[in-house]
Chain A
Amino acid sequence: MMRNRFWSLAAIALSAAYFFLPLIGMFEFSLRMKRGQYSFEAYRVVLNDPQFQQTFGYSVILALLTIVLGVLIVVPTAYWVRLRLPKARPIIEFVTLLPLVIPPIVIVFGYIRIYNTSSWLPLTGSWIGTNILILFGYATLSLPYMYRAVDTGLRAIDVATLTEAAQSLGASWTRILATVILPNVLVSVLSGAFLTFAIVIGEYVFAALLNLNTFGPYMVWMGGNRAYEPSALAVIAFIITWACMGLIQLVTRFSKFTQIKR
């Protein structure tokens, strides 16, 4: 048994080397901008770059809007399927998993074909249209995670009883969803939301092919034209990913105390 433990620790130590070296590498590289000394110069340059502020802010707004859109699409659907349409569950679940099956580059290729300027719905023809398109696109990308999270959350509450109670008090459907169901699955919605945020913030393919100057294309441009800034950007992106995952852990742990285990 001791031998078992030794080999396990050895395996973990070896993989830790593989997983930490690139992190150390990118951090070390990001500090090398000033010759002969370590400094945070690359971060200062990046953070003061108006392009960075613009593209990063743009991606943050897109991510937040995607979350809102995703919640508006997923929560009523998952709720309704649980309440009235259990028959439709396999179909809906299948559809929500499709974005994992079809590569994103193929989906966006389809968008460009269907919604180009000479089509019946020329979304790519205008700035606002393209933004609407990418929002729906990002909502599609986050669908598998969002739906699974919300559906798991709904499983833990008694949807039917809550609905009947609300109805007998005279609540409308929107009121039931907004003030009864949503607060009860808030933790699940938040986990889905943080994951969505992590996905959208650095997304490249959709933005590049729809010609939008978000954070992803900005990073690639920097990668092709600068030496040290890309590493600083990678560190920032890693911290964001880490923060999102940490927040998911935090809210799930929090939920363990507030929800009844079944």
Chain B
Amino acid sequence: MTSIPTSPARPAATLRLQPLLKWIGIAPFILFALLFLILPTLNIVFGAFHDNKGQVTLDNIRGLFEPSILQAFWISIRLSLATAFFGCLFGFVIAAAVTFGQIPRWLRGSVLTFSGVASNFAGVPLSFAFIATLGRLGLVTVLAREWLGINIYATGFNLISFFGLTITYLYFQIPLMVLIITPALEGLKKEWREAASILGATGLQYWRMVAFPVLWPSLLGTAALLFANSFGAVATAIALTGSSLSIVPIILFAQIRGDVLNDPHLGYAIAFGMIVLTGAANLIYIVLRIRAERWVK
């Protein structure tokens, strides 16, 4: 099949638009993006560096280093790191099983479809599902007590805790990893494996010296994406914990509602801190993704 160039290189004789006029075609989009995405964000960033009188100041940023705020950032960062790490690990195992495990086709399709659903099943309903399962009256809690005689809450487990949040977040983190990394694994060429084994490499050596060096940008990049994904999650945390766990999105939520702190500019600073962290994580993702695409094509 001959491929027709889809690029609009062919000039339509009837319509030679002035260069400037061309940009009018995307003017509505630009206006929309400015009003509802870029200006609101810039307003927050601007507010983070100004005081009530409009003077430039670093006081708000300094406010981030108050113990309570710093503590919240620290919990959020650890939570995001933990869910990114375990999300990548388990997601990778599932993706590898799906790609190399010679499993039936229907099972492979089901795993990928289910991943699509589960990665979007976040927020309020997800936390309800976990409360119904691992909460004090949840299915697993009750069954463990009645069948095995184990009271998991007596062992120190609590769903409304760092550990509980991690388990809950993994429900959308693992499937996201599966969805992103499966194409990368499929991009590993059979020939590389064959070439490696002809040269006498063991399976482990193949993974360590061929597959992993090709995959690591994808792996690390996806970890960064998962980090940002978890850092910005608000609804799941609020529905699960109320406001009993002080993580950054919950503090910011309460701040915007006017419940605590009473210092709007500290709110800007917290929001700015969130942008910096998720922005950095996404930047890492984009850079590594470009790197990864050099091999996996």
Contact = CB atoms under 8 A, between A and B. Distances in A.
A82 B113 CA distance: 31
B36 A219 contact: no
A261 B140 CA distance: 48
B36 A234 contact: no
B70 interface: no
Contacts of B100: 4, 8
B89 to A, nearest CB: 11
A238 B121 CA distance: 7
Interface class of chain B by DSSP: helix
B125 A73 contact: no
A34 to B, nearest CB: 15
A36 B124 CA distance: 28
A99 to B, nearest CB: 7
B41 A110 contact: yes
Interface stretch (B22-30, B61-69, B146-154, B183-191): B22-30
A101 B139 contact: no
A111 B125 contact: no
Given A223-B127, A234-B132, A137 B174 contact: no
Main secondary structure of the interface of A (DSSP, over half): helix
A15 interface: yes
A84 to B, nearest CB: 5
A100 B256 CA distance: 21
A205 B235 CA distance: 6
B14 interface: yes
Contacts of B7: 86, 160
B228 interface: yes
A29 B139 contact: yes
A50 interface: no
Interface in B71-97: 90, 93-94, 96-97
Given A15-B174, A103-B274, A234 B129 contact: yes
B197 to A, nearest CB: 13
Nearest to A157: B6
Interface string A102-115: 11111111111110
A170 to B, nearest CB: 10
Interface residues on B, range: 35 or more
B282 interface: yes
Interface in A93-143: 95, 98-114, 136-137, 139-140, 143
A153 to B, nearest CB: 12
B12 A113 contact: no
A203 B124 CA distance: 8
A25 B28 contact: no
A209 interface: yes
Given A84-B17, A109-B271, A238-B129, A262 B12 contact: no
Interface stretch (B52-60, B101-109, B205-213, B215-223): B101-109
B47 A113 contact: yes
Interface string B238-270: 110010000001001100110000000001000
B123 interface: yes
Contacts of A45: none
A131 B10 CA distance: 43
B123 A202 contact: yes
A256 to B, nearest CB: 14
B111 interface: yes
Contacts of B171: 18-19, 22
B118 interface: yes
A92 to B, nearest CB: 7
A110 B47 CA distance: 10
A110 B40 contact: yes
Nearest to A236: B125
Interface of A: 1, 4-5, 7-9, 11-12, 15, 18-19, 21-26, 28-30, 73-74, 76-77, 80-86, 88, 92, 95, 98-114, 136-137, 139-140, 143, 155, 157-161, 163-164, 167-168, 195, 198-199, 202-205, 208-209, 216, 219-220, 223-224, 230-231, 233-234, 237-238, 241-242, 244-246, 248-249, 260-262
19 contacts: A22-B133, A26-B132, A28-B132, A73-B28, A80-B25, A98-B33, A101-B279, A101-B282, A104-B234, A106-B271, A107-B40, A108-B256, A114-B39, A160-B9, A167-B14, A168-B14, A223-B128, A231-B129, A234-B124
Which 7 A/B pairs are nearest by Cβ-Cβ distance? A8-B101, A110-B40, A25-B133, A103-B232, A29-B132, A8-B97, A80-B25
